[in-house]
Structure 1
Amino acid sequence: MGRPPIDRRPNERLAHWLIRSGLSNAKLATAVKDLAARHGVKGVHPDESRARRWLSGEKPREPVPDLITKILSERTGLPLTREDLGFPAHQRTVSLDPSELPWRSGSTIEAIVHLTRSEIMLPHTRHSPDAAHIHSGKSLLDPLHQWATALPSELIERPAGHTPTGRVGAREIAGIRAVTEMFRDADNRHGGVLSRRAVIAQMADAIAMLDSCSYTQATGRELFSAVADLGSVAGWMSFDAGMHKSAQKLFITALHAASEGADKAVGAHILQCMARQMSHLAHYNDALDLVALAQYGGRRQTSPATKSMLASLEARFNAILGHLDESERAAGRAEELFTLINPDEEPPHMAFFDTAELSATLGVAHQIAARKSQGPHRTRRADKSLDLLEHALSLRPIHRTRSKAFDHLALARTHLVVSEIGGAHHETDMALTLFGTISSKRVADRLTELHDEAAEFSDAAEAADLRNRIRATVTAAA
């Protein structure tokens, strides 16, 4: 007797997203093999013919569907799922609680596979349950598009008989802004984890003024603007603490407050915070769209520093999406706009965007572009990245501890792009020292990414040590 017929239909969903990604069959196979190697997954060595069979309907063995999903999500900038690509969803058939684990071979294998995979893979907040529940794509962007043209509404009239609990004036608003700068400084020095609750409590007090005090229309607008800026700090701290759903809610409500305060400049600042969060969570097209929204909606009110910062983020996100020419053009605009900055005329929320920050952002953009390039183009872009990142690090104020940790991590990743293991090891050592003085899930996530990128060099002693030290540090901090 021959084999029974196989019900295999072409995987049209995978074919659709492969075309959208711009990858060939051979490049997909190579990307899967490289990603598996970075994650320490053994025995995954697909070639072009294997990729063709996937498109013909062959079901790849685990964890290849997850690897393909990750690759195509990053290439398209969309949060694709296994089902989007025509692969079956994960179906856990056994409890992983040891007291409930059935005495069967299949259950035992599944439990061990899950346990070892969770032990091998370092944590990243991108994969947390919290991150899975944020808004993205149309559900995020469609409502936000109204911000660009929204006008402040009339402030609420108090009902008859309402007795204000106090009157808000310039002194109270100045107090909120001073507290905002204090929390912003604490975030830069120590990370967002420690002060998050305190800044949210301060927001509650400020909202109470809006809700129960009396003020003029002009003062009310100023109060909304001050609350919006305070909210941006609360959202940023939540993002840094890995609390992505809370961060997104705080950013969106702060954006509404900025609109009621007729403050497009703060609104554009909030949108760039949101763009950074979406990029961190691998929603790269959303990040680029948020930058474009900030550029359009804030075009008449934003300062040269804001315009330069948004262009630098445009360069970074275009590099991630593989748009290298667009990335270089945006980097050029960022540098030109930076020359127009007068620090005395910039709003307080833009004080962070100095020469060091511009250099760091563009340095990362060139690093990403180098990773996506070959031959002399890779070398040129990596050299540019190293120059910019070293310049950034040399200019960082002493209190910008978290930023310095990011700079060292970016330098380590650029060294890896050109296989300079010694340089990567040195910069990782510096980053780990700084990480021990702050509380930041974002820095931990960047360490995890560096750990994965160093996997292909694991045969080298310094690379193996780099990965072991990151694993020990991130695991201890989790």
Structure 2
Amino acid sequence: MGTSIGANIKRLREQRGWSQARLAHEVCRAAGVVGEPVGRQEVSRWETGRRTPREWLPFLAAALGVSLDVLRAPLEPSQPPLPTLADFLPEGDPLKPLSASTGRRIGMVQVDDLQQRVHGLRLADDVLAGGDLIRPALRELRSAVRLYREGSHSSEVGRQLLRQIGELTQIAGWIASDAGQHSEAERIYRLGISAATQAEDNTLAGNIAGSLAYQLSNTGRESEGLTLAQAALHDAGSDAPPKARALYWDRVAWAHTKAGGVANGQQAMRALGEAEQALSEDSEGIDSPAYLYWVDAGELRVMESRVFTEIRRPLRAVPLLREVLSGYDATHTRELALYLSWLAVALADANEPEESAAVAERVITLGSDIPSERTAERVRVILRRLREYAEVPEVAALLADHQTA
């Protein structure tokens, strides 16, 4: 019964466009209590069936404007099951140890060394593109997997090795995707989901799955991308750190956006609201993994502006992008080019072709020196969008200079 009540609570909440925090507030108000003893995490536990509302059930019904019978109604057989990451694991076990009893003894020294190399690769990705990093990234990944499979280690050291392999797959998959090697990136990501799952690190598994979902959404597999983004969010659960939950919701928002349609656009807006709500809880003293150092309010504004650009609402997108770009680190060339590419498209949608062409020229200049397939694809998107304004002199000159792109 708890599962059906939880599913009904979630369905009714989402129909109203409320966040879990909003529902918690409304329940407390319906109960007439002070201090909000029910919070977002409690609502999450109700929805996932880990806890039953019991004495709060009447107040839930009142807050949602339904009867108790509606909340207690059994799930309809036609409702699809919630997606899980288990559907995206690689076949077999590519991390199965080969010779744990006779191989080289591995300790925390080797784990710490691997952690430093993973972090160094992650920092390098901030300033270098996939084409520059793909070889060292794959070399590090092969070495790490071999270390785990061929070495001898305690269960705790093995778990920490798996965690570092998971972190390495996230950045290596991202690099491979940026280099345009999407099949290789997917294989790497699936390996990482397996490693993180075996390490029992749900937060890391969700982060890796979200990266794969992002790639799927951007490479013509929008339905799979949405399913996986939702699975990453659901499997990680409400106990994931605030920054992680913000990132999961961010990926869900983008997946809905790429799936298209009015309903998905509305769901994308709701997901962005949930991401903002999650990030607002980051000041409550809950530690987030070091690999989420880049998730902040600025990154959420970037995603919000991209969503607005994709659904053709340039009057919302342009100011957000200008705000983010005004203080962006110019050494992060690829990201700067990518963010400017969204501004160029939004300006074209706002019927400002001259300014769009000027921004596009800057994107092309920045992208000419970086081997990034993501950037190259964004250049193609801009040029296709500007063809509508081919009679405008600035646009005509741009198209003539870069027609081969």
TM-score by length of 2: 0.72
- Alpha-carbon distance change, 470 to 198 in structure 1, aligned in 2, over 3 angstroms: same
Q: Does 1:405 align with 2:405?
A: no
Change (3 A) 1:290 1:432: same
Distance change in 2, residues 1:213/1:397 (3 Å): same
- Pick from 103, 107, 110: which aligns with 1:164? 103
Question: Residues 470 and 259 from structure 1, CA distance in 2 versus in 1: closer, same or farther, beyond 3 angstroms?
Answer: farther
Give the match for residue 429 of structure 1: 361
Match of 1:348 in 2: 290
Q: For 1:308, which of 246, 267, 276 is the aligned residue?
A: 246
Residue 207 to residue 327, structure 1, CA distance change in 2 (3 Å): closer
TM-superposed CA distance for 1:312, in Å, is 2.3
Query: 1:368 aligns to what?
Result: 310
Of 201, 217, 220 in structure 2, the residue corresponding to residue 279 of structure 1 is 217
One-letter code aligned to 2:275: A
Q: Say whether the 8 Å CA contact 1:190–1:437 is kept in structure 2.
A: no
Q: Amino acid of the residue matched to residue 384 of structure 2?
A: D
**Post-superposition offset of 1:252:** 0.7
Of all paired residues, the percent bearing the same amino acid is 22
Aligned-partner Cα distance in 1 for 2:143–2:98: 20
Aligned 8 A contact 2:213 2:255 in 1 = no
Q: Return the alpha-carbon distance in structure 1 between the equivalents of residues 309 and 208 of structure 2.
A: 26
Q: Distance in 2 between matches of 1:327 and 1:300?
A: 19
Equivalent residue, structure 1, for 2:272: 331
Matches of 1:325 and 1:144, distance apart in 2? 25
Letter paired with 2:252: E
Q: 1:363 offset after TM fit, Å? A: 0.4
Tell me the amino acid that sits aligned with residue 293 of structure 2.
Answer: A
The aligned counterpart of 1:6 is: none
For residues 289 and 228 of structure 1, the distance between their equivalents in structure 2, rounded to whole angstroms, comes to 21
Q: Distance in 2 between matches of 1:206 and 1:465?
A: 50
Note the 1:143-154 alignment, pairs <5 A. 144-146=85-87
Tell me if structure 2 keeps the 8 A contact 1:291–1:313.
Answer: yes
Provide structure 2 residue ranges, at least 5 long, that are not aligned to the other structure. 1-81
Kindly name which structure, 1 or 2, has the bigger radius of gyration based on alpha carbons: 1
Aligned to 1:180: 118
Residues 192-231 of structure 1 mapped to structure 2, 5 A cutoff: 192-231=130-169
Match of 1:467 in 2: 399
Partners of 2:275 and 2:399 in 1: CA distance? 35
Cα distance in 2 between the residues matched to 1:301 and 1:240: 31
* Aligned-residue offset at 1:157: 9.0
1:400, distance to aligned residue in structure 2 (A): 2.1
Deviation at 1:239, TM superposition (A): 0.6
1:168–1:213 CA contact under 8 A, matched in 2: yes
8 Å contact kept, 1:315–1:328: yes
Q: Determine if the alignment matches structure 1 residue 317 to structure 2 residue 258.
A: no
Give distance in 2, aligned partners of 1:145 and 1:213. 27
Partners of 2:139 and 2:99 in 1: CA distance: 25
SS in 1 for 2:132: coil
1:223-245 CA deviation, whole Å, 9 max, x = no partner? 01101111111111111111111
Letter aligned with residue 136 of structure 2: A
SS at match of 1:195: helix
SS in 1 for 2:281: coil
Q: In structure 2, do the counterparts of structure 1 residues 156 and 408 end up closer, same or farther at CA, with 3 Å as the change threshold? A: closer
**Cα RMSD (Å):** 2.6
Task: Report the 3-state secondary structure (helix = DSSP H, G, I; strand = E; otherwise coil) of the residue aligned with 1:247.
Answer: helix
- Tell me which of 382, 385, 398 is aligned to 2:314: 382
Once residues 447 and 211 of structure 1 are traced to their aligned partners in structure 2, the CA distance between those partners, rounded to angstroms, is 42
Contact kept? 2:214, 2:254, Cα under 8 Å: no
Q: In the aligned structure 2, how far is the partner of 1:395 from the partner of 1:302? A: 30
Write out per-residue CA displacement over residues 189-211 of structure 1, whole angstroms, 9 at most, x where no aligned residue.
Answer: 12111111111111122122212
Give the distance between the partners of 1:460 and 1:387, measured in 2 at CA: 24
Residue identity matched to 1:425: A
Tell me whether 1:293 sits opposite 2:225 in the alignment. no
State how far apart, in whole Å, the 2-side matches of 1:267 and 1:471 are. 42
Distance in 2 between residues matched to 1:408 and 1:388, nearest whole Å? 12
Supply the distance in 2 between the matched residues of 1:230 and 1:360 (Cα, whole angstroms): 25
* Contact kept? 1:355, 1:392, Cα under 8 Å: no
Q: Displacement, 1:290?
A: 1.2
How many Å separate the matches in 2 of 1:187 and 1:399? 11
Cα shift at 1:186? 1.7
Tell me, yes or no, if the aligned pair for 1:145 and 1:293 is still in contact at 8 Å: no
Measured in 2, the distance between the counterparts of 1:198 and 1:306 equals: 27
Tell me if the contact between 1:415 and 1:421 (Cα under 8 Å) persists in the aligned partners: yes
In the alignment of these two chains, the number of paired residues is: 317
Q: Which 5+ residue runs of structure 1 have no aligned equivalent?
A: 1-140, 372-380
Q: Supply the distance in 1 between the matched residues of 2:401 and 2:112 (Cα, whole angstroms).
A: 45
CA-to-aligned-CA distance 1:241-275 (integer Å, 9 cap, x gap): 11111111111111111111111111111111111
Structure 1 counterpart of 2:28? none
1:257 aligns with 2:189: no
Deviations along 1:15-58, one digit per CA (max 9) or x if unpaired, are xxxxxxxxxxxxxxxxxxxxxxxxxxxxxxxxxxxxxxxxxxxx
- What is the one-letter code of the residue matched to 1:445? E
